[in-house]
Structures are given as C-alpha cells and as structure tokens.
Amino acid sequence: MKLRFVEEKFFNLLMVVSTVLIVASLVAILVTVFIKGLPALRLSMITQVPKGGFYLGKEGGILNAILGSLYLAGGATVLAIFISLPIVIYFNVYAPERSVFVNLCRFSLDVLWGVPSIVFGAFGFTIMLFFGLRASLLGGIIAVALLILPVMSRAMDEVVKMVPRGLLEASYSLGATKLETSVKVVVRQALPGILTAVLVAFGRGIGDAASVIFTAGFTDSIPISLMRPAATLPLAIFFQLGTPFPEVQERAYASALVLTFMILVISIAARLLTKSFTKHVIK
Amino acid sequence: MEYKTHIRVRNLSVSYGKEQALKNVTVDLPEKKITAIIGPSGCGKTTLLKSFNRLIDSIDGIKVQGEVYLNGDNIYGPGIDVTHLRKKMGLLSQRPHPLPMSIYDNVAYGPRIHGIRKKRRLNEIVEHYLRESSLWDEVKDRLHTPASRLSVGQQQKLCLARGLAVEPQIILGDEPTSALDPNASQRIEKKFLQLKEKYTIIIVTHILRQAMRLADYVVFMYLGELIEHGPAQRVFKEPQEELTRGYIKGVII
Ligand SMILES: Nc1ncnc2c1ncn2[C@@H]1O[C@H](COP(=O)(O)OP(=O)(O)OP(=O)(O)O)[C@@H](O)[C@H]1O
Ligand SMILES: [Mg+2]
C-alpha cells in the first residue's frame, strides 16, 4: 500500500520534471532568439537582399534566404505530399492487411527517418552529379523532399491507420470504389492528422541546413529559376554566426527569429484554412 | 404461404484462413419480407450477411465456395461488377458509421458516386430519403452541419437514408439496433415493418424477441452451419431441430 503510494508520487514528480524541462528549454530557446535577435531586427532585413559586405556588417537583408527557404521547403512539401498520400493510401486501403511488403516498407521508412540529413544532402548531390546538374533550387527541393518523405508518410500512416474499418465498409457498401473511398472518406476523416504530418515535415524541411548545403547551394540574389542556386535561412544563419563580427552575429539571431516566426505563421494559417474541412471528422 | 425467392444461397462455404466460418449453407431468402438470421455469437451470422454484398472480399485469406444468386445471377460468378452489386443492397452496421461530411452530403454520397450531379435532383433525393427514414423533421434546418453531431439513434437513421438513397432492392442489417436505446430501437423496428413493402430486409439479431416481433422468415445458424430455416411462425412455435429448440428456450446462448 505504502509502496504504491510512493510509486505514484515518484512518477508524478518525474512527469512534472520532464514537462518543465521540455517547456523550459523551449522557452529558453525562444527567449534567447528573441533577446539577441530583436535589437538587430530591421525592416530592411526582410525587404532587402545582402548588399556588398553584408557579412562584414554592412547594409542589406536576408530576403534571398527567406524566399529561398519558402520556395524550397514549400516545393519539397508539395512534392512529398504527392508521394506520401499514395503510399499511405496503398498501405491502408489497397494492400492486404498484415502484408509483409507493407510492414517492410514501414520499417524502411522508419529507418530513413533516423538517417541524418547530411546523408540525404550527400545522396542528392551524387544523383545531381550523375545527371550533370549543378547546385540549384530544384536539386534542393528534391533533396529536402527525400528528407521529409519518411516523416510525412509515417506520420500520415499512423493517423490513416486509425480510420475505422466500418467507415470504409459503409462507403464500399454504397457502391464506392477503393479510390472514391480513399479520396472522399479516408483522407477527409484523417485530414487533421494529415495536416499535422505535413506541418511537421514542412518544419523539418525549412529548418534543415545540411541537406541543402550542396544541393541548393547559396546565393545573394532572389531565386528566379529552378535551375539556379537558392539561399536558405538556416545557411544564412550559419554563415552569419560564423563571422567574427558581433553585429553580424546579432543579425543571425534576428534571422532565426524570422525563421521561427515564419513557421509559426504558416502553421496557424494552415490550421485556420483547413478548419472548415475538418469539422466533419467523426470522433 | 408461398414465398418469392430473392436471394438463393447454394452450398456456400466461407473460411478465414484455416477457420471455416460458414459450412455448406443452402437457403432461399424471400422477397419483400423480413428475414432474421439468429444464432449464438461467432456462428457466422455477420459472415453470411456480408457475403451477400461481397464485403467479405477484402478480408485477407478469405476463401469463398458455392454460389449466391441474386435475381438469378451468381454474384460470385465471373463478370460481376461488385460496385454495381453493392448498390443493390443497403447495409446497416452494428454501430452507425456516418461519413465524415454533412448530413446532406451523407445522403447525397451514393447518388453522386453513381453519377447524379444536378443540384435540384440531389435536393429532392436527400429530402425524400430523410423523410423515408423519419429523420427529415429533426434535421431539415441543419442539413449542412456535420453528421457526427447527431445522436447515435439519429445517425443510424441517417445511415438508413444513405443506404436507401442508392435505390437498393435489399436492406441488410447487422444487429442494426444494438447500439441504440430502447426508444430508438423501437422506431427503427417500426421503420423496417413499413419498409418491407418495398424492400427485402435481412437482419442479423441477437435479440430473440426482436426476431419474433419483426421476422417473417427465420434462419438459425450454429457454429457455421445452417441448422434450420423457415417461416417465423413455424420455427418459433414448432422448431424441428433440437438445437433450435434449445436456442429459443434460452438453453443455448
Ligand atoms: N476477419 C476475420 N478474420 C478471421 N476470422 C474471422 C473474421 N471475422 C470473423 N471471423 C471468425 O468467423 C467466425 C464467424 O464470425 P461472424 O462474425 O460471422 O460471427 P457472428 O455470428 O456475426 O458473431 P457475433 O454474433 O458475435 O457478431 C467466428 O469464429 C470468427 O472468429
Ligand atoms: Mg456479427
């Protein structure tokens, strides 16, 4: 009796401690970025591209990297959605239950999920060399799409798996095909979870530096072509932090603030936009 | 009394992997009557019901032998369009499964799939079948709200309307009232008694009294075998088989 009580207390404490730890470190990161970044944040940072000597502390902004990151992560996310959805629909609607092949695929995706992003960068780079491509927005999009594909498809898979069998049968028994059922019922029912998967993947894509360093390259100009290199925010932050000049380092924090803010705005906007589509979900 | 046969089952055997769920079932189910499939848990009632609209097809390792004739065509024969077959039967499951869309879209789902696009026509269909399942008055002012907000009883009625909207000949119900409160069950039962004018109704039920109230024809199953079938009056009053007698008396459960 006594022991059970102590056990309960102990695990309660453990939970509180870990929650506090997580929340505190999150707050600490945000506060650091805010305190260090806010003073250096100028409107010109988000409206201008780097001028000559930007990395030495002269005039300019990171518009090139903001747009580059948006195009790159956006493009990669869209590409990954078009690959993930069919995979997930196949796993859960078309493939036989308890299929060995499907479980093997799931396992592979889980392993790929854990592969460091630099490996995806190096892999993408090798492929690009093979096709004779130079570092470009397109190369970056493909590398990042590969990077976020495992996260996105497995996260979607877990929610689509939860769609009750009876719901599928209800649709089939009205004469719907598997495709109609997938598009009109399964995707709709799982939409909130699918959206979360997309946002998580987008977040990973926009925040990653290692996969784009070789594949997308870097440039001070705004990306205008898929075949030209593109700047990205994580790399911009990395380069600015790497200079010996305090004012440039401060701008790195300002850039980080911009990145954080962008992810926040996009997440909230996506939730609001899809709200009207998710209200019908059967609980 | 003479019955007109609607579904003719011949030597139907179904097995899930090694487990045989139906053993050589042969029976004729009457048209525009209520047939109740009764029997203890796990005896293959659901399997029999779902073999009629081939919903069992998608289960792994399933093996189906024998024939089921609907209007003379073997539904397990070659060249059968399964979606077309399923359209001929509305299914009510144990728990209602409204689709993740509005009340209106739930009813319009089937007709839309089968090619009806005109808004006017869809409006008519939705109203007609919601009236048919006595749900119209309760929901007419909130047709475009999510179906998930309805009570369970209302959801079951919605599923009925949705099934009727594809103009089936047959209504299949797998314990359609088991998730409902007594009042809602009673309303569904009353509905069935009206609907048998136009449809062949086949329900699986655990509730013997329900079978007695509703059924014109009874099929008693035991461990995958069809033990006895016949007009409800006769089966309940003078069961021919020992097992049926036991089940009706409540000895076998
Ligand atoms: N998907 C499945 N995979 C394997 N075996 C199954 C499956 N579905 C049913 N069975 C087996 O087939 C037999 C008949 O099942 P069925 O669901 O038809 O019974 P039932 O009469 O409807 O039972 P209940 O009254 O409990 O609903 C049972 O022994 C069951 O274990
Ligand atoms: Mg059953």
The CATH number that applies at residue B34 is 3.40.50.300
Q: Is residue B234 part of a domain?
A: yes
Residue ranges lining ligand 1, Cβ < 6 Å: B 16, 19, 21, 41-47, 59
B175 and B54 in one domain? Answer: yes
Among protein residues, the one with the nearest Cα to ligand 1's atom 20 is B42
Higher pLDDT, A280 or B123: B123
Q: Is residue A228 part of a domain?
A: yes
Q: How far is B2 from chain A (nearest CA, A)?
A: 30
A180, closest residue in chain B (CA to CA): B113
Interface of B with A (CB under 8 A): 53, 55, 58-60, 83-84, 86-87, 89-91, 93, 95, 97-102, 109-110, 113-114, 146-148, 159, 162-163, 166, 172
In chain A, residues with a C-beta closer than 8 Å to the C-beta of B146 are: 279-281
How far apart are the C-alpha atoms of B252 and A137, rounded to whole Å?
72
B13 and B137 in one domain? Answer: no
Q: How far is the CA of B245 from the centre of ligand 2 (A)?
A: 22
> In which domain, by residue range, is A158 found?
43-278
Q: pTM of the full predicted structure?
A: 0.87
Domain boundary among B135, B167, B199: B167
Q: Is residue A210 part of a domain?
A: yes
B195 and B118 in one domain? Answer: no
B188 and B77 in one domain? Answer: yes
pLDDT over 90, % of chain A: 66
From start to end of A31-100, where are the E strands?
none
Residue A11 has pLDDT above 90, yes or no: yes
Q: How far is the CA of B46 from the centre of ligand 1 (A)?
A: 7
Q: Is residue A173 part of a domain?
A: yes
| pLDDT, mean over chain A | 92
Mean pLDDT for each 10-residue chunk of chain B (253 residues)? 87 92 94 94 93 89 92 89 91 93 96 94 96 92 94 93 94 91 89 93 92 94 93 91 88 64
Query: Hey, what are A76's tokens?
Result: 């990669």
The residue among A92, A160, A173 with the most chain B CBs within 10 A of its CB, best to mutate, is: A173
Q: Is residue A29 part of a domain?
A: no
ipTM, 2 dp: 0.91
Are B84 and A169 an interchain contact pair (Cβ–Cβ within 8 Å)? Answer: no
Residue A159 has pLDDT above 90, yes or no: yes
B131 and B31 in one domain? Answer: no
B203 and B79 in one domain? Answer: yes
Q: Is residue B218 part of a domain?
A: yes
Burial track A63-86 (b if 16+ CB lie within 10 A, e otherwise)? bbbbbbbbbbbbbbbebbbeebbe
Contact at 8 Å (CB) between B63 and B241? no
Are B93 and A166 an interchain contact pair (Cβ–Cβ within 8 Å)? Answer: yes
Are A173 and B113 an interchain contact pair (Cβ–Cβ within 8 Å)? Answer: no
> In which domain, by residue range, is B163 found?
98-167
Q: pLDDT value at position B5?
A: 92
Q: pLDDT value at position A274?
A: 81
B186 and B155 in one domain? Answer: no
Contact at 8 Å (CB) between A258 and A45? yes
B175 and B83 in one domain? Answer: yes
Q: Is residue B58 part of a domain?
A: yes
B73 and B3 in one domain? Answer: yes
Q: pLDDT value at position B1?
A: 61
Q: pLDDT value at position B253?
A: 59
**pLDDT tens, position by position, A176-224:** 999 999 999 999 999 999 999 999 999 999 999 999 999 999 999 988 8
Q: List the CATH number of the domain containing A127.
A: 1.10.3720.10
Domain boundary among B136, B167, B198: B167
Q: How far is B97 from chain A (nearest CA, A)?
A: 6
Domain boundary among B118, B151, B167: B167
B174 and B77 in one domain? Answer: yes
**pLDDT tens, position by position, A92-128:** 999 988 889 999 999 999 999 999 999 999 999 999 8
The number of folded domains in chain A is: 1
B234 and B155 in one domain? Answer: no
Higher pLDDT, A282 or A112: A112
For chain A, how many helices (H) and strands (E)? 12, 0
Q: Is residue A235 part of a domain?
A: yes
Q: Is residue B93 part of a domain?
A: no
Q: How far is the CA of B213 from the centre of ligand 1 (A)?
A: 26
B127 and B8 in one domain? Answer: no
Burial track A216-248 (b if 16+ CB lie within 10 A, e otherwise)? bbbbbebbeeeebbbbbbbbbbbbbeebeeeeb
Q: How far is the CA of B71 from the centre of ligand 2 (A)?
A: 26
Q: pLDDT value at position B249?
A: 83
Q: Is residue A38 part of a domain?
A: no
Q: Is residue A8 part of a domain?
A: no
Q: pLDDT value at position B206?
A: 86
Tell me the ligand closest to B21's alpha carbon: 1
Q: pLDDT value at position B61?
A: 85
Q: pLDDT value at position A168?
A: 94
A279 touches chain B (CB under 8 A): yes
The residue assigned the tokens 């990669």 is A76
Query: Would you place residue A58 in the very low, low, confident or very high pLDDT band (cuts 50, 70, 90)?
Result: confident
The number of folded domains in chain B is: 2
Q: Return the best residue to mutate from B15, B18, B37, B43 for the ligand 1 pocket (most ligand atoms within 8 A of CB).
A: B43
Q: How far is A170 from chain B (nearest CA, A)?
A: 7
